Structure 1
Amino acid sequence: MNKTMRLGNMLKEEYVIPDLKAETKGAAISELLSLLNQNSPGINALKIRDLIFEREEIENTSYGHGFAFPHARTDEVDDLIIGLGISKSGLNEKTPDNIPLSVVVILLTPSHISKLYLQTLSAFAAFARNEANLENLKSAETAADVIDIIWQSAVQVEKELTAKDIMRRNIATVTPDDTLKHVANMMFKHRLSAMAVVDENENLLGQIADKDLIQAALPDYKALINNLNYAF
């Protein structure tokens, strides 16, 4: 089984700007998020921008070699989203190696996925270290050209993930002695269709699902459960 994929295959033309109008990294981030919001209207671009800028205050994401990788982990997205913008003349931004910042790559990932983000960031860093790639990107005229240049570089991303990489770690649980009313209320509160049942030492004993509650003849909660917004 092929466990890798080319970095270029992870980008979409609708999230690429081959000629940024922005003059600073902050403005470039806003320009890319505006494009993202335009093509994915359900995403709260303002909230994501605040998350990215908060991280920028903690650590400058300018990588060097003309690249920056601002990023955020947020449940505003369901999967890894990559936005890429290129400044032909360079952005007004301090960089660790004094090479003008020309390429801004935004990485957005759900809070429960981390490995794919790290693998993708590592692949972009490898791509950035080849000086020819920067010049090739700056000469690109269209979004399709940008993606083709990255694809032709043959940089690979590990794509095989395990259950551990995407599992939820902080989950709501119930105990064997909790009433079914309490279980139903917890499902509604946390928008779940099933919950783990654990003992006093947090050892897993089993699972209880919304269908189990219905089958247990809880007519007062049937309507409540039918209105749950399932997380699974």
Structure 2
Amino acid sequence: MEIGDFLTPERIVLDTKLRDKAHLISEAARLCHVPHAGPPPAAIEDALLARERLGSTGLGAGFALPHARVEGLDDYVGLFLRLAKPIAFEAIDGQPVDLAFVLLIPFETKTPHVAVLAAIARRIRDAAVAARLRAAKTPDAVRDLLTGTKTS
């Protein structure tokens, strides 16, 4: 499974203004919800918060990878957020987060989610890619960077 399989330009939000970690999780749940299909935003938010209670998904270097298995989801759902201003996220290095990739995982899946998480983390933790993500002008440019289809 490739990042492009579950991340669309419509789920790439640039320079969003979020107050804190709870606001990021809440907004992610709202943005990942598909009206009239799949789980409601409250169920998505509950799943993400439950995962965060196990330990922060702030991986360091300004990047967080909130993720959770979500009941009633048919396919993986990805959401990329670039924040206008970094927020505290209880990251492993104690630094604030300005890039977040949210991944929702169906309960019933044949694709191991650990491999998918690792692929996302490898891509964004590449310092050159992270710098380009921070400077990208459009959702299409961000998607190209995340999927490796372009490097500009």
Q: Give the alignment's TM-score, normalised by structure 2.
A: 0.84
**In the TM superposition, what whole-angstrom CA distance separates every residue of 1:72-108 from its partner, at most 9, and x where no partner exists?**
1123210111111111321123322244311111111
CA distance in 2, matches of 1:153, 1:88: 25
Higher relative contact order (Cα pairs below 8 Å, separated by 6+ residues): 2
CA distance in 2, matches of 1:107, 1:136: 21
Contact 2:17 2:85 in 1 (8 A): no
Structure 1 residue identity aligned to 2:51: R
Aligned to 1:82: 78
Structure 2 residue identity aligned to 1:31: E
Structure 1 residue identity aligned to 2:139: A
Aligned to 1:142: 138
CA distance in 2, matches of 1:100, 1:116: 29
Aligned to 2:89: 93
The one of 107, 111, 115 equivalent to 1:119 is 115
Identity percentage of aligned residues:
27
CA distance in 2, matches of 1:121, 1:109: 10
Q: Does 1:133 align with 2:147?
A: no
CA distance in 2, matches of 1:91, 1:41: 32
CA distance in 2, matches of 1:139, 1:40: 31
Structure 1: which 5+ runs fail to align?
155-232
Aligned to 2:43: 47
Structure 1 residue identity aligned to 2:20: T
Structure 2 residue identity aligned to 1:118: V
Contact 1:8 1:151 in 2 (8 A): yes
CA distance in 2, matches of 1:153, 1:10: 15
Structure 1 residue identity aligned to 2:68: A
Structure 2: which 5+ runs fail to align?
none
CA distance in 2, matches of 1:27, 1:145: 25
CA distance in 1, matches of 2:6, 2:54: 28
Q: Does 1:13 align with 2:14?
A: no
**In the TM superposition, what whole-angstrom CA distance separates every residue of 1:175-232 from its partner, at most 9, and x where no partner exists?**
xxxxxxxxxxxxxxxxxxxxxxxxxxxxxxxxxxxxxxxxxxxxxxxxxxxxxxxxxx
Task: Give 1:1-232 correspondences, 5 Å limit.
Answer: 5=2, 7-37=3-33, 39-42=34-37, 43-113=39-109, 115-152=111-148
The alpha-carbon distance between structure 1 residues 94 and 87, as it changes in their structure 2 partners (threshold 3 A), is: same
